[in-house]
Structure 1
Amino acid sequence: MTGKRKLYISIGQPGILCNSKNKNVLCVDIGGGSTEFIVGNDVNPIFSTRLRMGAVRFTREVFPDYVVRKNNVIAASHYAGGMVEAIKNEVLTAGYETAIFSAGTAKSVLSMAAANGLIKPEEKVFTYSHLTKIHDLVLSRKEMDDRLVIPGLEAKRADVVVAGVIILKAIFDKLEIKEGYYSEYALREGVLLAVMQ
């Protein structure tokens, strides 16, 4: 299976099957070492790429002691914004009607938004406004111990959530995303759905 096809099946195909039939969808997976982007529909992927920015990578390189400092936040935001800016024209030229996010960062934002009363617990969508509030909340907790008590945040993600929300906000900003849907589908579920078609 080619890398492009694997990426399409992993995050693109499930989102398209479940959320937006016959329409272009932007799917984003913020991983530990990289972030994957794909624009596609229920027939083919139109554009896909992988950027070398991930929550674990950014944490290791910019926040090695897990402490939030203004200069580190500025550096991380600038770098993430520059990375996404490099693919902005291709993504917007391909066009999309819905943005779908998978993996831990998006799940954490959704969970924190619900726990802090921004959305209902059963909702699977968060707006730019919701993201901005969660972004600011996370960055206001300078030490990891402070982040451990953020409502809705799993303890195991307190170390990487700062980098994750910075990357996610840069994606929303640069790609002009108004709202994002969270998808629970991973590679295994995507392959099964693709085979069933």
Structure 2
Amino acid sequence: MSIDPGAYIIQNVTHRNFAAQSAGTTVVAYTESRSRSITSVTSSGEADLNLRKVWSISRLNNDKYTIRNIETNEYAATSTFPAIEQSIITTQALRQWDIKETAVRGRYVICTNRAKSDLYWGLTDDELDTPITLRDSPNTPSNQWELTKVDLWVLLGHMRAKLVGLRHDYVELQNAYSELSKRENDKCVTM
């Protein structure tokens, strides 16, 4: 069964942690408090969505997929020569993955065959910030993932809210720059 293109939360079957973009360039285990759901509502009534755990999955013409983080716009990747226990990283360069449904409906393995044999995304334990690494067994539930589609309207609302914040920051920076330029011009005139 192929995956429909869209925004997804990727959750490990065994440990229940989410795949998330770290502050660096690795993909790590992440979770939130029970009081927050995939999309919580803030006190102001807005949807609260952590974009570091939301991934855009797109299908390529060769029936493989790209997995790109919504927050950073970077693609999940491996090194040129992937090996067992190597961390999943992110990069600006497009990388392709196979996503295959397991015998259990709704569970998937995410794999690369760049190493001449399939290697699968896996999670060794349930600790936060544990890197997601390449493993060699598709049958282990810790190497299997559930993909939950994110409501695009919620995602769009969150992105628009971020855009409003960025526009506000831009206006403040423009005003600060204008003020500094004016001070510099005033200094030059008085000299």
Same fold (TM over 0.5): no
Q: Which one has a larger percent helix, Structure 1 or Structure 2?
A: 1
- Which structure has more RCO (C-alpha within 8 Å, separation ≥ 6)? 1
**TM-score for the superposition, normalised by structure 1:** 0.20
TM normalised by structure 2 equals: 0.21
Q: Higher strand fraction: Structure 1 or Structure 2?
A: 2
